[in-house]
Amino acid sequence: MIAAPLVLAASLAYLLTLFAIAAFADRRATQGRSVIDNPWIYALSWAVYCTAWTYFGSVGTAAVSGVWFLPIYLGPLLAMLVAWIVVRKMVRIAQTYRITSIADFIASRYGTSPMLAAVVTLITVIGMVPYIALQLKAVSGGFHLLTAGPTPHAEAAIVWWRDGALLVALAMAAFTIVFGTRHLDVYERHEGLVAAIAFESMLKLVAFLAVGAFVTWGLFGGMGDIWARAQALPELDGLLRLGGAEKAGAPDYARWFALITLSMLSALVLPRQFQMMVVECVGERHIRRAAWVFPAYLLLINVFVLPIAIGGQVLFGPGKMDAETFVLSLPLTQGAHWLALLAFVGGLSAATGMLIVETIAVSTMVCNDLVMPSLLRLPGFGTRQDGDLTRLLLNIRRAAIVGILMLGYLYFRIAGNAYALVSIGLISFAAVAQVAPALLGGMYWRGATKAGAFGGLIGGFAVWSYTLMLPSLAKSGWIPGGFMDDGPFGIGLLAPEHLFGLTGLDNLTHSLFWSLLVNVTLYVGLSFARNPSAREASQALLFADVFTRANSSDPAPVFWRGAARLEDLRSLAGRLLGASRADTLFQDLAQQQGVAPPDLVPDARLVDRVERQLAGAVGAASARVMVSSVAQEEPLTVDGVFEILEEASQLRGYARALEEKSLSLEQATSELRAANEQLKSLDHLKDDFMSSVTHELRTPLTSIRALSELMLDTPDMETEQREEFLRIVVSESERLSRLVNQVLDMAKIESGNAEWRNSDVDMGALVSNAVRATSELFRGRHAAVELSVPDGGVPVIRADPDRLTQVMLNLLSNAAKFVPEEHGRVLVALDSDEDGLTVEVRDNGPGVPLKDQASVFEKFRQGGDALTRPAGTGLGLPISRQIVNHFGGRMWLDSQPGQGACFAFWLPLGAREEEEP
């Protein structure tokens, strides 16, 4: 037992710390140095998922049914696996359209419908009040246990003002009012509050782990020891099997699945999760880390649940003590009083964290989606032009906060002992899960309509009330329970927990199945039944395509037509945001338009921007009502939506056309540049060619002229000398005419003007003839020529035999030039394969140096040193190559320096003349 003042003092100290942290974070925020702009803080704030229900209730469940406490934490993991896809989209939508609550989200998705917002708010309030009561009960129970000592299953009547629950409720109301409604924020972001929640998450984790470590290693010798000692107890036999301790039949897989699915949805749509994940999100990028840190946090806080639960059962004896109090009673009875106090503060922080966030989320909804629209409907209120509404709004929120917490307290006082902690938690989850189809469906399915969302929500909620809420009331003894088994009016098929005779499911699974079935059926069915209206369709587009809009450069279409006066908009913004904020807003807008604030044009885009800002403050539904009260809006028709989209897509079309134009222009430029380059290089080649030709012509001409002049000047030259000179003149003239012939030949072939006299050619005979014709050459150099032709001959090809002979002669005379003076060997080989014929002329000369191999087929590139090389025109190989190419073949050189050269060419069998270029 711990003295009550000490417990109170510890609680007070904890609360003061909370205030201090929140105040610190708020001050930092106003300085622009945000504390919560940090993925770890963001992730910790998500851990508000773990309430007192986790803190105390999990151990309770684990003690009775083993691993069945786990599905509630496995579901969020599955949700977090797709957080990058789903949560990021929610955040993007919410921040783009200034959405501050689930009710707002759903209402704006389905055409800014106030009715829908109100329904979602009501469902949330009804679902959440018992859950708030649960937290108060946990705190009250813990306080009682610490101060009065653990008494098995005792709920001693205590004076209402001494149980701490009311104090906690009031303290939380104060905290939430101070840090949640300090001012009206268009983003509805509360830095101090988030920092405080992150601190609470840290505290409850540390406290729970401390108790877990104390039980596991302080009271026992590790987890294995706990389990070993538990096995001695027959009551715990089979506890850690899915079938449970009773071993009654097959395990309830349906419930297991239902719990995982339910908690997966809850992690996304519980108001407190939405508040922390979406509304308080500083930057989408933080989701990256938070998405895995949050499930890791859940894993950590659950590691010691089973050891504590089983350890408690072993120490106290199975069933002797309320397992939901083990976290406190174990340290308390084992003498670790300070640890018990820490555990209590941890539990307190789990409860208060949930209270704060849930209250702020629900109060925003109540104010924006329930109270404000009703007020606006009052005659004269909406059109009143004077007066600052910010104060009124904040006061409504404050009243809502106090109201919700007091409602929770009341519920706790009346029903606190009626039902176990876990069942209340699950009933709440099941209620809130009803908004999941409309919320998640609306983000991805454009065809969903307001009627569908409305029908689904109402239908699902009605079935939930009938199959889960009503029976829980009956079980609490508040209404007669006769209808439970026999059904209302004795109609057995309508029995709330066995609807239409569906048995074999536990009540939660049963209710979840029917409610979600009805919900989804109505949602989809009614959406299919009628086409979406213009407003629904436009909102669906804005929500579902939020990423594509953000990525494209063109601004999102504004689905608004009408006229407004700048003055009216200004005064409206002033009333809802306060004068200074309104001024800032209009200055920003003017800056974006690039004009001075008084010159702003109140076009559709401006009205849309103002409405979005107001939506952040009063909710989308109210903002719509207020804006339409000062602006003459033309009713939006389906045609209008198409028109607006058309305009947007036309703009996009123009942009695309422009882009295409510039692209093709660019392409044309680069083509032109390439062509120019080619021309330049051709020009260069021509110059080279001309200078080569003139050079080649000049050499023989010079010698002819010199010799002729010599002979002319010396009439008395000796006859022998004269003959020698004349021979040289003749040979040089021959060389000259050969050169001229070859140049002409080359030019003809290149220009396509050459004459080709094609006939069937037997390459075997042609090659042999060529070898025979050049035998004189080889003999002159004492070189041996070897000819190898396949025995059966080779197929005939269609080509010009004279040209091919020219090629052969060229290759052979080349070889003859380069073979060594003695021991020269030339191998001429003809071979055929399926596709064509290959002719190789291999010599054992010096070969072609690697650096020259690429250029031997170029004009006037003669192999070897200019001084030592044998005479030649440098046109033989290029011409040969041209000829071979003409017949669709190719010519190549294969040479290792020092090991001879092998010139070869290949001709296709079905040699067709190349089409003239």
Residues interacting with another protein, by CB under 8 A? 39, 66-67, 70-71, 74, 77-78, 80-82, 84-85, 223-224, 227-228, 240-243, 251, 253, 256-257, 260, 285, 288-289, 291-292, 295-296, 299, 303, 306
User: Which CB, 87 or 339, lies closer to another protein?
Assistant: 87
Smallest separation, CB 82 to another protein (Å): 5
How many Cα atoms occupy the beta-carbon half-sphere of 296 within 13 Å? 9
Smallest separation, CB 296 to another protein (Å): 5
Smallest separation, CB 102 to another protein (Å): 22
Residues in the chain: 917
User: Which CB, 32 or 335, lies closer to another protein?
Assistant: 32
User: Which CB, 81 or 736, lies closer to another protein?
Assistant: 81
Write the CA distances from 383 to 571, 629, 837, integer angstroms.
Answer: 12, 6, 98
User: Which CB, 303 or 394, lies closer to another protein?
Assistant: 303
User: Which CB, 129 or 278, lies closer to another protein?
Assistant: 278
Contact in structure between 880 and 907 (CB atoms under 8 Å): no
CA-wise closest residue to 170 among 466, 403, 420:
403
Lookup result for tokens 């001075």: 596
Task: Give Cβ neighbours of residue 879 (< 8 Å, ≥ 6 apart).
Answer: 742, 745, 746, 749, 806, 810
Smallest separation, CB 514 to another protein (Å): 20
Smallest separation, CB 285 to another protein (Å): 6
CA-wise closest residue to 2 among 183, 188, 148, 193:
148
Partners of 436 in the beta sheet? none
**Helix 450-464 × helix 436-444 angle, to 10°:** 160
User: Which CB, 66 or 874, lies closer to another protein?
Assistant: 66
CA-wise closest residue to 662 among 670, 651, 674, 652:
670
User: Which CB, 299 or 690, lies closer to another protein?
Assistant: 299
User: Which CB, 84 or 756, lies closer to another protein?
Assistant: 84
User: Which CB, 287 or 816, lies closer to another protein?
Assistant: 287
User: Which CB, 240 or 765, lies closer to another protein?
Assistant: 240
Q: What are phi and psi of 905, to 5 degrees?
A: -140, 155
Task: Give Cβ neighbours of residue 20 (< 8 Å, ≥ 6 apart).
Answer: none
Q: State the Cα–Cα distance between residues 445 and 833, nearest whole angstrom.
A: 65
- Residue 106: both structure tokens together: 């759903």
Smallest separation, CB 264 to another protein (Å): 9
How many Cα atoms occupy the beta-carbon half-sphere of 620 within 13 Å? 28
User: Which CB, 78 or 777, lies closer to another protein?
Assistant: 78
Smallest separation, CB 432 to another protein (Å): 21
User: Which CB, 302 or 538, lies closer to another protein?
Assistant: 302
Q: State the Cα–Cα distance between residues 138 and 142, nearest whole angstrom.
A: 6
Smallest separation, CB 282 to another protein (Å): 11
Helix or strand holding residue 798 (H, E):
strand 797-799
User: Which CB, 294 or 559, lies closer to another protein?
Assistant: 294
Q: State the Cα–Cα distance between residues 507 and 486, nearest whole angstrom.
A: 16
CA-wise closest residue to 370 among 98, 103, 102:
103
Smallest separation, CB 68 to another protein (Å): 11
Lookup result for tokens 């609680």: 11
Smallest separation, CB 253 to another protein (Å): 4
Smallest separation, CB 289 to another protein (Å): 7
Partners of 906 in the beta sheet? 838, 890
Q: State the Cα–Cα distance between residues 197 and 48, nearest whole angstrom.
A: 7
User: Which CB, 238 or 908, lies closer to another protein?
Assistant: 238
Task: Give Cβ neighbours of residue 259 (< 8 Å, ≥ 6 apart).
Answer: 68, 71, 72, 75, 426, 508
Write the CA distances from 455 to 433, 659, 847, integer angstroms.
Answer: 15, 47, 92
Write the CA distances from 544 to 86, 100, 179, 496, integer angstroms.
Answer: 11, 18, 34, 37
Mode of pairing for the β-strands spanning 824-832 and 783-788: parallel
Smallest separation, CB 558 to another protein (Å): 28
Helix or strand holding residue 826 (H, E):
strand 824-832
User: Which CB, 3 or 296, lies closer to another protein?
Assistant: 296
Contact in structure between 144 and 157 (CB atoms under 8 Å): no
- The neighbour count for residue 695, using CB atoms within 10 Å, is 10
Output Rg (C-alpha) for the chain, integer angstroms: 47
- Residue 742: both structure tokens together: 């070859």
DSSP structure class, residue 366:
I
Smallest separation, CB 330 to another protein (Å): 19
Smallest separation, CB 78 to another protein (Å): 5
How many Cα atoms occupy the beta-carbon half-sphere of 131 within 13 Å? 32
Local structure of 888: helix, strand or coil: coil
Smallest separation, CB 423 to another protein (Å): 22
